[in-house]
């Protein structure tokens, strides 16, 4: 067998007494696309950060790269010399710098001479972007790019670094992609997979971390599964089934997701909220009625306008027009809606930007859980921290937050566990209308099932939900009705037996052709 590009032996990591990795061993062959899977908090990102030189592993482990033992801990930057590159969950781009500066960052900061030939740098950056078919301006600042463009740029940068490193060393390299797809629309995922295959064809290897089992089964050759920091399984992808992979991750059998549980037409329900002529940056004036206890999905290709809806209703983004009326009451102009007023009206918003808008990394979990309603914990004029901690712990049990220590900072949790904290925060308030943007991004397959069950139970007791998502499987699983958007307008509505993962995905794709003809159609869709 060819010499592995990466060989790990007994890699362990302890954070203040808690074991994140308990002696992990596996290897990655040249030209192999290797899936690294596991529940939230199983240790995947910790392993990646050890390879990046960000965390020092506990003593005793061994790491070989292209057959040579590497001194541990890796020093920051060692990975570049060896021929590794990374796309981390937060993408690692500098928002205030340009595309060019981000793309050529490593080269610019290590340039031997003080002189930088900007014309040449620009041409090199342009070539790299063109090679990957990415039509963005090299002078554009990162904070002006869309999330999709940012993700693709980070991916292009990682692949470009490997290409250059391999040309210099003449040996295979390794790209590590830590959940690169949540922000990518279907076309972006396909583009990424094209890049992954082209890198693997040159003999370099790719480690692909994702919670999307279908994607992992499409792109990987082998799969390593971690559970509680230990190796829980190793599978050859071609011979494995979806169920086997899920079982290796969760440790038990669970029912396949994505099978629509809807056999008939949507149940007629009384209207809870009527949105009239809501328009934002890309959303064209649209009328939408949300039923009481209904879970309404909104989706489409990225940029089609659906992703704005939760924010416009919550007053978290500027609107061009629109109003909302609750329970047949007087309409409230969306321009007069603010997050504070929305909270007073018993609305809740879970934004999609986990690392930015939704949680405060530097605050303890308990504060993140109760930020919106801390007033509830004042007893006789004093804040009862004990009551907050007790309730936070109970919520942590219910939503399987690991580790369940509410006094830890949010930043000490893995990405998926942080998302559970934020979901728990809003579900616990029992709002009348829950607005979600990509609610289970980064959440593992077992927890997804629990969150779906909690949402369904809350809807059954009368809570209305709007779920904006590009995840067709999730929408099929939880929604009573899904609206497909194209070019800012509602193109079609899916209910009943058509409400399947494939049905939703097909409608989104169909929207590419149909969007041009949608202008004259009425965008109005109602719950019953």
Ligand X SMILES: Nc1ncnc2c1ncn2[C@@H]1O[C@H](COP(=O)(O)OP(=O)(O)OP(=O)(O)O)[C@@H](O)[C@H]1O
- Residues interacting with ligand X, by CB under 6 A? 15, 20, 38, 40-46, 402-403, 412-417, 442
What's the closest the beta carbon of residue 87 comes to ligand X, in angstroms?
14
Contacts of residue 503, defined as CB under 8 A and 6 or more positions apart, other chains included, come to 260, 476, 494
Token pair of 189, please? 């995922």
* Count of alpha carbons within 13 angstroms of residue 272, beta-carbon side: 21
- Closer CB to ligand X, 93 or 401, in the complex: 401
- Closer CB to ligand X, 79 or 272, in the complex: 79
Does residue 438 contact residue 465 with C-beta atoms inside 8 Å?
no
Q: What are phi and psi of 291, to 5 degrees?
A: -75, 155
- Closer CB to ligand X, 6 or 48, in the complex: 48
- Closer CB to ligand X, 27 or 414, in the complex: 414
- Closer CB to ligand X, 182 or 503, in the complex: 182
CA distance 52 to 283: 41
What's the closest the beta carbon of residue 18 comes to ligand X, in angstroms?
6
- Closer CB to ligand X, 7 or 44, in the complex: 44
SS3 content of the chain, % helix, strand, coil (to 5): 40, 25, 35
What's the closest the beta carbon of residue 79 comes to ligand X, in angstroms?
17
What's the closest the beta carbon of residue 89 comes to ligand X, in angstroms?
7
CA distance 174 to 354: 27
CA distance 298 to 384: 40
What's the closest the beta carbon of residue 231 comes to ligand X, in angstroms?
13
- Closer CB to ligand X, 44 or 425, in the complex: 44
- Closer CB to ligand X, 406 or 442, in the complex: 442
What's the closest the beta carbon of residue 442 comes to ligand X, in angstroms?
6
For 435, the 3-state DSSP assignment is strand
Q: What is the DSSP string of 468-504?
A: E-S-HHHHHHH-SEEEEEETTEEEEEE-GGG-SHHHH
- Closer CB to ligand X, 24 or 166, in the complex: 24
What's the closest the beta carbon of residue 413 comes to ligand X, in angstroms?
5
- Closer CB to ligand X, 44 or 448, in the complex: 44
Nearest to 214 by CA among 505, 463, 438, 524: 505
61-72 burial by CB neighbour count: b if 16+ within 10 A, else e?
bebbbbeeebeb
Q: What is the DSSP string of 295-310?
A: EEEEEESTTSSGGGHH
- Closer CB to ligand X, 38 or 364, in the complex: 38
Q: What are phi and psi of 186, to 5 degrees?
A: -50, -45
- Closer CB to ligand X, 131 or 227, in the complex: 227
What's the closest the beta carbon of residue 412 comes to ligand X, in angstroms?
4
Sheet arrangement for strand 489-494: 347-350, 433-437, 464-468, 295-300, 481-486, 489-494
What's the closest the beta carbon of residue 215 comes to ligand X, in angstroms?
14
Beta strand spans in 252-317 (E): 271-279, 286-291, 295-300
What's the closest the beta carbon of residue 178 comes to ligand X, in angstroms?
7
Token pair of 133, please? 């078919």
Token pair of 415, please? 């990405």
What's the closest the beta carbon of residue 233 comes to ligand X, in angstroms?
15
Sign of CA dihedral 346, 350, 356, 360: positive
> In the beta sheet, which residues pair with residue 35?
208, 223
Does residue 77 contact residue 19 with C-beta atoms inside 8 Å?
no
* Residue given tokens 């340039």 in the structure block: 111
Sheet arrangement for strand 6-15: 18-28, 6-15, 62-65, 68-69
What's the closest the beta carbon of residue 385 comes to ligand X, in angstroms?
22
Beta strand spans in 365-471 (E): 378-379, 382-383, 433-437, 464-468
What's the closest the beta carbon of residue 213 comes to ligand X, in angstroms?
13
- Closer CB to ligand X, 15 or 378, in the complex: 15
Helical (H) or strand (E) element with 461: none
């Amino acid at each position: 067998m060819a010499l592995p590009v990466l060989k790990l032996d007994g890699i362990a990591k302890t954070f203040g007494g808690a074991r994140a990795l308990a002696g992990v061993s596996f290897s990655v062959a040249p030209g192999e696309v290797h899936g690294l899977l596991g529940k939230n908090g199983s240790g995947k990102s910790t392993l990646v950060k050890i390879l990046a030189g960000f965390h020092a592993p506990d003593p005793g482990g061994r790491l070989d790269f292209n057959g040579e033992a590497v001194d541990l801990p890796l020093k920051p930057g060692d990975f570049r010399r060896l021929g590794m590159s990374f796309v981390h969950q937060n993408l690692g781009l500098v928002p205030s710098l340009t595309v060019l500066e981000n793309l050529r960052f490593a080269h610019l900061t290590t340039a031997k001479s003080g002189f930088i030939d900007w014309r040449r740098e620009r041409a090199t950056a342009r070539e790299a972007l063109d090679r990957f078919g990415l039509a963005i301006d090299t002078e554009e600042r990162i904070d002006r790019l869309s999330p999709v463009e940012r993700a693709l740029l980070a991916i292009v940068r990682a692949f470009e670094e490997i290409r250059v490193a391999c040309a210099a060393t003449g040996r295979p390299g390794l790209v590590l992609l830590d959940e690169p797809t949540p922000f990518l629309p279907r076309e972006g995922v396909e583009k990424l997979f094209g890049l992954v295959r082209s890198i693997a064809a040159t003999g370099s290897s790719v480690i692909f971390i994702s919670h999307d089992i279908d994607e992992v089964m499409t792109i990987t050759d082998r799969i390593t599964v971690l559970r509680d920091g230990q190796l829980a399984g190793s599978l050859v992808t071609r011979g494995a089934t979806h169920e086997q992979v899920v079982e290796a991750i969760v440790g038990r059998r669970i029912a396949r997701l994505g099978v629509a549980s809807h056999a008939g037409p949507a149940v007629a329900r009384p209207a809870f909220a009527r949105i009239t002529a809501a328009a934002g940056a890309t959303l064209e004036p649209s009328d939408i009625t949300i039923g009481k206890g209904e879970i309404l999905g909104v989706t489409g290709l990225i940029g089609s306008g659906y992703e704005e809806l939760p924010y416009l209703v919550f007053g978290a983004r500027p609107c061009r027009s629109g109003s909302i009326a609750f329970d047949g009451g007087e309409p409230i102009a969306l321009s007069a809606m603010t997050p504070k007023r929305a909270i007073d009206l018993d609305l809740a918003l879970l934004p999609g930007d986990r690392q930015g808008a939704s949680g405060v990394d530097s605050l303890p979990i308990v504060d993140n859980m109760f930020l919106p309603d801390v007033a509830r914990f004042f007893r006789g004029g004093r804040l009862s921290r004990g009551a907050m901690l007790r309730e936070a712990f109970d919520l942590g049990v219910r939503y399987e937050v690991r580790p369940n220590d509410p006094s830890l900072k949010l930043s000490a949790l893995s990405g998926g566990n942080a998302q559970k904290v934020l979901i728990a925060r809003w579900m616990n308030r029992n709002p009348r209308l829950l607005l979600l943007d990509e609610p289970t991004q980064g959440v593992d397959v077992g927890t997804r099932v629990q969150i779906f069950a909690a949402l369904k139970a809350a809807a059954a007791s009368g809570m209305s939900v709007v779920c904006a998502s590009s995840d067709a499987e999730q929408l099929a699983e939880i929604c009573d009705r899904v609206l497909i958007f194209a070019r800012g307008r509602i193109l079609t509505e899916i209910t009943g037996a058509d409400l399947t993962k494939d049905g939703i995905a097909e409608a989104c794709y169909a929207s590419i052709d149909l969007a041009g003809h949608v202008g004259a159609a009425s965008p109005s869709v109602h719950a019953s």
